[in-house]
Amino acid sequence: MSMMLLVLISMMAAKKTNKKPIFGQMTLRATKALEYLKTSPDAFKRQVRRIIWIQKHEAENDEWEMPDWVMASEKYNWCAILIDQDVNQVPLLVYQQSALAAIESHLMRLERDGADIKQVNVRRMDVDLGEGSVSISLWRNPKGGKFAKYNVEFLE
């Protein structure tokens, strides 16, 4: 009996690995999870280290879990995926045009100031902020209705 217990304990110990935690990072379909902007009295605040500027079909091909309403709508084509400095934070998908306009404006300033923007293909650009990061705050007035514009603030 003690031999059986010893074998069972050794088998349980052998299954332990040093994998990174993936809870909250993958969906049940094994695609990369994304959090979405929602109307809220509190701002979405992120310490962003990387921005992926990507066309929605390219994002889906890259196995990001794109929401059905974005894929079905003709008014959404490009989006931004904000990768947080905290690796346990689920990336934030930005597809709202008002927020994208502010992010695109900031990306143009970064490029003008010499940031290295990697053009992966005609449907994707990656902006890696290297050792640094930028604090981004996104919010919209909850009393403005579901079509209120998003406000975007960058703090460096």
User: With contact defined as beta carbons under 8 Å apart, do 34 and 66 qualify?
Assistant: yes
User: What is the pLDDT, as a whole number, of residue 22?
Assistant: 37
Collect contacts of 42-46 with beta carbons under 8 A, ≥24 apart: 42/139, 43/137, 43/138, 43/139, 44/92, 44/137, 44/138, 44/139, 45/135, 45/136, 45/137, 46/82, 46/84, 46/89, 46/92, 46/135, 46/136, 46/137
Mind giving me the DSSP string for 87-126? Answer: TTSPPEEE--HHHHHHHHHHHHHHHHTT--EEEEETTEEE
User: What is the pLDDT, as a whole number, of residue 132?
Assistant: 78
Tokens of 130: 């290297």
Query: Which of 8-12, 16-20, 42-46, 98-102 shows the highest mean pLDDT?
Result: 98-102
Give residue-wise pLDDT tens across range 82-133: 999 988 899 999 999 999 999 999 988 888 887 778 989 999 999 988 777 8
Instruction: Grade residue 147 by pLDDT with cuts at 50, 70 and 90.
Output: confident
Give residue-wise pLDDT tens across range 44-89: 899 999 999 999 999 999 999 999 999 999 999 999 999 999 888 9
How many other C-beta atoms are found inside a 10 Å radius of the C-beta of residue 34? 21
Per-domain boundaries in the chain: 24-155
24-38, 97-111, 133-147: least confident range: 24-38
